[in-house]
Structure 1
Amino acid sequence: MALEVPYRSIPDMFLQRVRATPNGQAFAVPTADDRGITWLTWAEVGERAKAIAAGLAGLGVGLEDRVAILSGTRLEWALVDLGINCAGGATTTVYPTTEPEDAAYIVADSGSKILVAEDPKQALKLAGADTSVTHVVLIDGLADASAQPPQLTLAELEERGRAALAETPDLVERIAEGIGPDNIATLIYTSGTTGRPKGVQLLHGGWCWEGVAQAGLGLFEASDLQYLWLPLSHSFGKTLLCGILHVGVPTYIDGRVEKLVDMLAVVQPTLMCAAPRIFEKVYNKTVTTAVGAGGLKAKIFGWAVATGKQKVALEQAGKPVPGALKARYAIAEKLVFSKLQQRLGGRLRVLVSGSAPLSRDIAEFFAAANLPIMEGYGLTESSAANFVNRLGKLKIGTVGQPLGDLECRIESDGEILLRGKPVMRGYHNLPKETEEAFTEDGFFRTGDIGELDADGYLKITDRKKDLVKTSGGKYIAPSAIEGMFKAVCPYTSQAVVVGQARNFVTMLISLDEEAIAGWAAGGPLDGKPYEEIVAAPETEKLVAGYIEELNAKLNRWETIKKFAILPRDLSIEQGEITPSMKIKRRSVETNFAEQIDKMYAGSLAQI
């Protein structure tokens, strides 16, 4: 059945929200001392976004004109994004970690007229670049009077906008009437695990569809309090903003990932979406702390996890949980799981994971702790939210069922194909790539391999291009093995399987700095720098034990024959992971070629 979308555009959806609940809590930010939060009502958000829209219109922004945002996740990001759309423009998103060369490429390729930068340092990334930018707007810091293109602050832009609205109070409403579902709302450049980033054209109609589709899941309620830390430059963040507008979910916005666990205790959200890396970090910390405590505490922790997993296994199989197990679980929750729940604020109702595969074992651990993670799936090209598990209908190991009326088909080679409202118009200025991305009957080729079960739940096997084929002709799905290892070894930060055209499989491993320092405490490696700890034979022995444990769960041809512990973690700056935490395998293999060559030295690396 077709999903009914009662909006023409994001401005239409936004203005309806402001009218419906002007005094409702909209967005919150941390207080200066991080001990509390401050709320803006929808009326206040409406006033600021309209002022930004009118200010941008004054700078010449019209229908589908691009305005780039180069900033971290913060309240102003959401306000500026709404302002751009309300001026008829389309937001070009640029990650704050993007290198100057790529940032300049994205702004130039998109044809962005205005750049909104977080501060003068971010604005400098475009210094000397040949772009269509006529003005630079700074969220923080002072405008440079002599800069070219001319600079102004966001406060000045809003002031100009308020002056324009004093003369023409219905300016934004009039602009909004001219924006339709087929107009471009956002241009998001795929972080490109291969090659130059491509601009994905996402339409107002697709984003409005996302807002409405999310409401039908039971995951978003107006009574919720959402913690939004995800990169708003990423499609996952943008799709959540659309859900917030449609449902009216009060949302705390704070992109400081290093403050996440501390602020969860302050904000006490009921809803949070994240990439798997966040859940892996919480898991690592919980497990290593329990193991480090030793003795009775470690035993109780192990017993509680086993009890929780027993309960989850029965629930997943659709079987009743016997009274005796329920009673044991209540004790496990009181002694162990309640402490983990409290560390995450104590009120979490919904956790959603997306943007990269979540390890099954880690999903089982969180479900055992009564913090079930609803894993979902989607792509930038299809507005991020396409499949997701529902509360009370969680199938661990799958990414759930489709949202709304989205169509899904599995090709004969296992590739997942999607068709529907949230799918992009195409790649910006790339007609050939756009044509190749679609089947003749209009399905988008995701490049992912998966299968649908009888209930419509989708299971992702791997990226089509990431499947590793050994020289013996066996196919291996690296992300599944990497996820298993992360669950087996709580000291892991990243794991990368290597084996393409090789005669055996190896693994590159980076360790979690905090976790491995905790393990080293009190021993001969106590207080030593990370590089020294990971190079020590004791650490090698520790990891070798976990590799053995992993291998016991794998087919013979998948087993890890050799591994290398890396001297540093993978980083966005070195181009090894994308800002949404996906591994760029080619970059990793290039940057750590020395370690890989050493593992295969003397073996027949057949091509």
Structure 2
Amino acid sequence: MDTTKKLPLEMVYHWESSSPDSLYMTQPIGHGKVVEYTWGRAVNEARRMAAYLKSLNLPEKSRIGLISKNCAHWIMTDWAIWMAGHVSVPLYPTLNADTVNYILNHAECDVLFVGKLDDWDMMKPGVPESVRCISYPLSPSNNFETWDDIVAKYPPLEGRVERDPDEMATIVYTSGSTGRPKGVMLSFNNMAFAAAGGIETLGVGPSERMLSYLPLAHVFERTFVELGSLYSGFQLYFAESLDTFVQDLQRARPTLFLSVPRLWVKFQHGVLQKLPKEKLERLLKIPVLNKVIKKKVLKGLGLDKVKLAGSGSAPLSNDVLDWYRNLGLELLEGYGMSENFAYSHMNKPGRTRTGYVGESLPGVETKISEQGEVLVKSPASMMGYYKDDEKSREAFTEDGFLKTGDKGEIDEMGRLKLTGRIKEIFKTSKGKYIAPAPIENKLMSHAAIEMVCVSGANQTQPHALVVLGEEIRPKAADEAFRKELEESFKSLIKDINKTVDPHEQLAFITVVSDEWSIENSFLTPTLKLKRNVVEDAYQARVDSWYAKKQPVIWQ
């Protein structure tokens, strides 16, 4: 079937008519139980919810909010909003009340779907009283109208609703590593182009299985999981919670698996806790054991059936990439932004190059500006920022290329390498410019390090702030272990300093005892570092650290 010219709702109707009895979504509901949704059931419930939304007589193209962790109802809500002629506004399920309030007011949401959430009490004060709320079966306790009551009461909206390809489908609020989130306006055509292109490039079909657990409010998951399943017909499974993640993975036995760098590192650390790196490498060198060990490790992670594994949202260190590839899992890095619905570059099987995010996807033009900035252009590029004409104009060049804010270079095969963020580059007191990302990637090769931030504006040399892995932190209280760790960090600094230019050499590593999390605003909802927040938190101590002239400092 040619999906290239079909819009998301047309794909919904296609599966409803061609495969109504095929299993589409498997939703855990606790105690090991699941609810299964065929295409027919899912579309029927979406049609009923759309009928209810129509009955509210909202102004045409009203913005409707959606705040929930990933679940089957998230997907059905998106469809229902589109069927009713409105615009979906997803909110991250980890936002604080202030940001919830800002987005709902900025988008002028009349209705909010409140779903599966861990901390609704923290968010609730941010919801204006004028907003009508609807609750999912897995929602925290509340007195809102419920999904089940509504779909029982309203007959399905009949016929096929057609939306204009160039009409706004959704507003995606960026996770905001600096300042207030911006509302990225995406049309049905933007979404269709990205989804169809991604599916075509990966060559996936209805027999695939995926576990959906990265936030659907983020374009990475929305493009390749929600829209990916819509354009290829594959099965979706959802995760119940962090505690049940391994069981959820083993239930899904995914053939496609996407994750973000921080989680790939966490999975690796989990394996290395049970099987130290040297021992694993030794076992993999024994021909008789090689395949058995690889299979055992991947099975333990729940990834033994994976044909295609992807990483996105931030760069992954070369060491981690090589480690997975050595296990037989070809981890493909991709690159994209909210502003182009995550559709820009992707590594292709057999054409990967470590440290590169891959080639331009079909229909994407890429060039590097005189300043070294990566510029991209495709039908997936956003309509602009909601209610911000000035920022919308600034986001594009005069000839229509999207300014990514990333520095990069392209090799002879057209593969893109990102060399840092234009705005993250800082200047030392010697007047030399430093891009922190490549140095951070080198530091992340150390098995004990979970997060890192390289800084040093207006200092003689850069330094690194590191957070130890969760399982390493308690051990660091032991003096002998700490001494051993300190020696390995000294060696790490020496090794890195041999590979970088003199002005980029690290003066020291500071091991911080604080936790960097979404809750304390050190990380965005997609687990990216908020560099300005991290730097501000330690600014007052930086001069005293330089004065110590020690390679490793414990804070």
Counterpart in the other structure of 1:226: 210
Counterpart in the other structure of 2:431: 473
C-alpha contact (below 8 Å) 1:53/1:161 kept by paired residues: no
Counterpart in the other structure of 1:272: 257
C-alpha contact (below 8 Å) 1:137/1:157 kept by paired residues: no
Letter in 2 for 1:598: S
Q: Matches of 1:62 and 1:351 in 2, distance apart?
A: 42
Greater displacement, 369-378 / 586-595: 586-595
C-alpha contact (below 8 Å) 1:70/1:122 kept by paired residues: no
Letter in 2 for 1:455: M
Aligned positions of 1:132-531 closer than 5 A? 133-139=130-136, 140-141=139-140, 143-144=142-143, 151-162=144-155, 165=156, 169-170=158-159, 173=160, 176-177=161-162, 179-218=163-202, 220-240=204-224, 241-254=226-239, 256-291=241-276, 299-304=278-283, 331-334=289-292, 336-345=293-302, 346-487=304-445, 489-517=446-474, 524=478
Q: Quote how far apart the aligned CAs of 1:69 are.
A: 0.9
Q: Matches of 1:427 and 1:476 in 2, distance apart?
A: 30
Measured at CA, do residues 502 and 236 of structure 1 come closer, stay the same or move farther in structure 2, by a change above 3 Å? same
- For these two proteins, the number of residue pairs brought into alignment is 543
Q: Quote how far apart the aligned CAs of 1:525 are.
A: 6.4
Counterpart in the other structure of 1:13: 11
Q: Quote how far apart the aligned CAs of 1:355 are.
A: 0.5
Q: Matches of 1:544 and 1:347 in 2, distance apart?
A: 40
Letter in 2 for 1:433: K
Once the two structures are superposed, residues 394-448 of structure 1 have per-residue CA deviations (whole angstroms, 9 ceiling, x without a partner) of 2222111122211212111111111121111010111111111111111111101
Letter in 1 for 2:517: S
TM-score (norm 1): 0.84
Kindly indicate whether residue 514 of structure 2 is the aligned counterpart of residue 568 of structure 1: yes
C-alpha contact (below 8 Å) 1:498/1:507 kept by paired residues: yes
Once the two structures are superposed, residues 21-74 of structure 1 have per-residue CA deviations (whole angstroms, 9 ceiling, x without a partner) of 22222111236333x755321111111111121121122346421111111122
Q: Matches of 1:112 and 1:583 in 2, distance apart?
A: 29
Aligned positions of 1:57-136 closer than 5 A? 57-61=54-58, 63-118=60-115, 122=120, 125-127=123-125, 133-136=130-133
Counterpart in the other structure of 2:524: 578
C-alpha contact (below 8 Å) 2:189/2:379 kept by paired residues: yes
Q: Matches of 2:436 and 2:82 in 1, distance apart?
A: 40
Letter in 2 for 1:550: I
Structure 1: where are the runs of 5+ without partners? 145-150, 292-297, 308-327, 527-532
Q: Quote how far apart the aligned CAs of 1:202 are.
A: 0.7
Local SS of the residue matching 2:154: helix
Letter in 2 for 1:576: F
Greater displacement, 16-25 / 572-581: 16-25
Counterpart in the other structure of 1:310: none
Q: Quote how far apart the aligned CAs of 1:122 are.
A: 2.8
Letter in 1 for 2:514: R
Measured at CA, do residues 468 and 10 of structure 1 come closer, stay the same or move farther in structure 2, by a change above 3 Å? same
Letter in 1 for 2:101: A
C-alpha contact (below 8 Å) 2:30/2:240 kept by paired residues: no
Once the two structures are superposed, residues 106-152 of structure 1 have per-residue CA deviations (whole angstroms, 9 ceiling, x without a partner) of 00001111011126963773547657x541112225553xxxxxx31
Counterpart in the other structure of 1:312: none
Q: Quote how far apart the aligned CAs of 1:261 are.
A: 3.3
C-alpha contact (below 8 Å) 2:69/2:116 kept by paired residues: no
Name the structure where helix makes up a greater proportion of residues: 1
Measured at CA, do residues 160 and 600 of structure 1 come closer, stay the same or move farther in structure 2, by a change above 3 Å? farther
The counterpart of 1:27, out of the listed 10, 25, 28, is: 25
Q: Quote how far apart the aligned CAs of 1:286 are.
A: 2.2
Letter in 1 for 2:414: G
Counterpart in the other structure of 2:534: 588
Greater displacement, 470-479 / 571-580: 470-479
C-alpha contact (below 8 Å) 1:10/1:85 kept by paired residues: no
Q: Matches of 2:78 and 2:413 in 1, distance apart?
A: 37
- Consecutive aligned runs of 4 or more in structure 1 exceeding 6 Å deviation: none
Letter in 2 for 1:69: L
Letter in 2 for 1:283: Q
Letter in 2 for 1:218: L
Greater displacement, 586-595 / 225-234: 586-595
C-alpha contact (below 8 Å) 1:56/1:157 kept by paired residues: no
Q: Matches of 2:3 and 2:126 in 1, distance apart?
A: 47
Counterpart in the other structure of 1:555: 501
Letter in 1 for 2:522: E
Measured at CA, do residues 123 and 423 of structure 1 come closer, stay the same or move farther in structure 2, by a change above 3 Å? farther
Q: Matches of 1:596 and 1:259 in 2, distance apart?
A: 41
Local SS of the residue matching 2:471: helix
Measured at CA, do residues 123 and 75 of structure 1 come closer, stay the same or move farther in structure 2, by a change above 3 Å? farther
Q: Quote how far apart the aligned CAs of 1:549 are.
A: 3.7
Q: Quote how far apart the aligned CAs of 1:479 are.
A: 1.5
Local SS of the residue matching 2:423: helix
Letter in 1 for 2:5: P
Q: Matches of 2:424 and 2:69 in 1, distance apart?
A: 29
Local SS of the residue matching 1:104: helix
Q: Matches of 2:152 and 2:358 in 1, distance apart?
A: 46
Letter in 1 for 2:416: L
Q: Matches of 1:458 and 1:464 in 2, distance apart?
A: 16
Local SS of the residue matching 2:404: strand
Q: Matches of 2:21 and 2:444 in 1, distance apart?
A: 45
C-alpha contact (below 8 Å) 1:209/1:422 kept by paired residues: yes
Measured at CA, do residues 476 and 299 of structure 1 come closer, stay the same or move farther in structure 2, by a change above 3 Å? same
Structure 2: where are the runs of 5+ without partners? 550-555
Letter in 1 for 2:505: T
Once the two structures are superposed, residues 438-484 of structure 1 have per-residue CA deviations (whole angstroms, 9 ceiling, x without a partner) of 11111111101111222221111111111232222333221221122
Counterpart in the other structure of 1:53: 50
Measured at CA, do residues 566 and 259 of structure 1 come closer, stay the same or move farther in structure 2, by a change above 3 Å? farther
Q: Quote how far apart the aligned CAs of 1:330 are.
A: 6.1
Q: Matches of 2:223 and 2:489 in 1, distance apart?
A: 39
Q: Matches of 1:257 and 1:427 in 2, distance apart?
A: 34
Local SS of the residue matching 1:216: helix
Q: Matches of 2:473 and 2:290 in 1, distance apart?
A: 27
Q: Matches of 1:551 and 1:594 in 2, distance apart?
A: 26
Measured at CA, do residues 453 and 435 of structure 1 come closer, stay the same or move farther in structure 2, by a change above 3 Å? same
